[in-house]
Chains A and B, each alone.
Chain A
Amino acid sequence: MPLIIAENVQKDYQAGEITVKALKGLSFEIEPASFVSFVGPSGSGKTTLLNLIGCLDKPTVGKLTVSATDVLHLDRKQSASFRGANIGFIFQDFNLLPILTVYENIEYPLLMVQSAPASERKKRVTALLEAVGMIEQKDKYPDQISGGQKQRVAVARALVTNPKLVLADEPTANLDHKTAYMVIELMKKMRDEFKTTFIFSTHDQKIVGEAEILYTLEDGELTGRQVRGGKGNG
């Protein structure tokens, strides 16, 4: 069964008296353990779509099912719980909490969202620190590590709750090409290891090639879909 089913998803914004159609009736399906990218120029609706899939926003029209849940009918608290249980986020600006160490940033979702026991937290966090190659920096604070390292920590944080889906909005936008490539490779490796679906948006053509399924968005419409092999077959 597909992890994500979008049926005629439309999102309108009100800008003064003008209604802006950010997404114009998108329909698609994404299978579990896929490595998917949405590409398109700025303003094409990538971030809006990721926000809808991530239950941070709701479609104006249409039906969106994520992990067999109709996200349209979730209230504020249910949305938060759903995100905490099913979705990991990787942000363009890393968004690590500056008062927490690398270890604590990764531990945060287990501690504050899922209230996991200490032994499980330690096991999961240590495993991910090793997986993303940040075990040596675990006691450092975000302002003591590089941008690439921050994004590695963000990847680990997104995966620590063992989510079905990780959403990454322009995860490489603030990284140099080499580091960006490494982060994408890391995400791919994590997908292989944890069988997690990764969906990321980008407008970086060099990174686009790393996606196994590529959706092209233009002016809020899906204009293309390419399958480049790999495990995804959405």
Chain B
Amino acid sequence: MGNLFKIAIRNLLRYKRRTLLTASLITVGVVFVLVFISVSGSFKNMMVGSITDSMLGHMQVHKKGYVASIENLPLNLNLNPGAVTRLENVLDKELEIMAYSPRIKFGGMFSNFMETTNIRLNGIYPEKELKTVPLLASRVIDGKKVLDKGGIWIPELLAKGMKVKVGDTIVVVATNKDGSVNGKQFVVAGVLESATGPGGRDGYVHMEDAMEVLRMEGMEISEVAIRLKDFGKLNAFSKKLAGLLSKEPGKEGKPIFEVHTWEKLTPFYNIARMIDVMTFFIKLMLIAIVLISIMNVMIMAVYERIREIGTIAAIGTLPAKILNMFVIEGFCLGIVGAIIGNIAGIVIIFILNLSKITFNFGQQQGLILQANVNPADIIAISVTVIIVSVIASLQPAFKASRMEPIKALRHV
């Protein structure tokens, strides 16, 4: 086998310019794919992280039917205190869960005593919420990063629009599930940076204040946000939790809980999917580049070496060995292209990171692009290039191996 490699490499070096061009084409393809995958993957991961770690959590549990009406924030579809206790009993036993946070979500009127506007609010236990969505505190751009009773965190746009600043007193008026209206004064404790995604423009109050505004006697929560220790186990744990909660039926024997991962709760998931689809097509382009360039160069190689093929066949070289010679040439081209492409790709990504390129995502400005190279991507790209190189060489190699020596020797 070593001799076949030696012959293949010498044949490649025989046409240096052509080999260089083909290897360069593969290299450019590999670099393009690697950089694209790293940048788009990093962008995707950053956005997913931003959404899950500052708003949604990794997954959420609601009363069955709540998510279908989530835009209305229906208080009559909140979990009752008994269901909340049962849910917490289940969650407390699961070791995969790092933290969870119950929330009451409701809409109300926000008044600065001169003007009134709408607001969506989350009643939370701040300690639990910050453990579940740790980036929430970093969104407090003005004021305290701790939310005490009587305080309210309001979204940045609302603060600007209503000309409200930290320390001002405001009033929140809300209608409870029975239709009665109640109001409560709050002191603005912080202003939240707006974020893209569901809940990105919500305000926050303490759970007990929310219960007071809504005149709840017991804690009737809208959702429980959950943070896992390992985000990679999200789908597996989601299935497990859904199975566990299906064993907690309501009075009529029907399930009362529904479990949703972050993908089901935000339209950004479609953008993430779109990035995956684009990555897939970019990979297809790489495959096409490698396939066409290697096939082209190997067809040329076979055509130019017909007499040599005739000679080695006449001497007694078996067809399988002739086939191997050409396949190995394609294989070597693929290896060289993959190695140089990966090295060049890593260098370019390193330079991109050093350049600290910034971009905007929705309301978030000046995000720094931090592309990461995933070893699994390098392996996947390299293996793809090498396999495609071998496949592309097969047809010309097969043709060479099937050549009649007598005809090949006559070739001019």
Binding site for B on A (CB under 8 A): 51, 54, 56-57, 76-77, 80-85, 87, 89, 91, 93, 95, 97-100, 108-109, 111-113, 157, 161
Contacts and interface: CB of A to CB of B under 8 A. Distances in A.
Given A51-B406, A91-B311, A112 B14 contact: no
Rank and list the top 6 A-B pairs by shortest CB-CB distance, nearest first: A84-B316, A99-B10, A95-B311, A83-B316, A113-B316, A56-B406
Contacts of A111: 3
A102 to B, nearest CB: 15
A12 B305 CA distance: 28
A145 to B, nearest CB: 17
Nearest to A52: B406
A109 B316 contact: yes
B407 to A, nearest CB: 10
Given A98-B14, A111-B3, A112-B321, A91 B409 contact: yes
13 contacts: A56-B409, A80-B318, A82-B316, A84-B315, A85-B316, A87-B316, A97-B308, A99-B10, A108-B312, A108-B315, A111-B3, A112-B312, A113-B318
A89 B405 CA distance: 12
Interface string B196-240: 000000000000000000000000000000000000000000000
A95 B406 CA distance: 13
A113 B317 contact: yes
A113 B3 CA distance: 12
Contacts of A87: 316
Nearest to B11: A99
Nearest to A111: B3
A65 to B, nearest CB: 19
A113 B320 CA distance: 11
A63 to B, nearest CB: 20
Given A83-B314, A113-B317, 11 more contacts: A51-B406, A56-B314, A77-B319, A80-B319, A81-B316, A84-B317, A89-B315, A97-B311, A97-B312, A99-B11, A109-B315
Given A98-B14, A99-B10, A56 B405 contact: yes
Most buried by A among B10, B307, B312, B316: B316
Interface string B293-309: 00000000000000110
A54 B11 CA distance: 28
Contacts of B277: none
Given A80-B317, A80-B318, A85-B316, A57 B311 contact: no
B314 A89 contact: yes
Contacts of A89: 311, 314-315
Interface residues of B, number: 21
A87 B405 CA distance: 14
A91 B312 CA distance: 12
B313 interface: yes
Contacts of A77: 318-319
Nearest to B3: A111
Nearest to A99: B10
Nearest to A76: B319
A83 B315 contact: yes
B307 A112 contact: no
Interface string B394-412: 0000000000011001000
Contacts of B98: none
Contacts of A100: 7, 10
Contacts of A113: 315-318
A74 to B, nearest CB: 12
B178 to A, nearest CB: 90
Nearest to B314: A89
A112 B314 CA distance: 12
Contacts of A51: 406
A76 B318 CA distance: 9
Contacts of B308: 95, 97-98
Contacts of B10: 99-100
Contacts of B7: 99-100
Contacts of A109: 315-316
A125 B211 CA distance: 97
B411 to A, nearest CB: 11
Contacts of B321: 112
A54 B406 CA distance: 10
Contacts of B314: 54, 56, 83, 89
Interface in B1-43: 3, 7, 10-11, 14
A157 B314 CA distance: 12
A92 to B, nearest CB: 10
A98 B314 CA distance: 17
Contact of B313 (A80, A99, A108): A80
A99 B8 CA distance: 10
B322 to A, nearest CB: 9
A158 to B, nearest CB: 9
Contacts of A83: 314-316
B406 A57 contact: yes
Contacts of A98: 14, 308
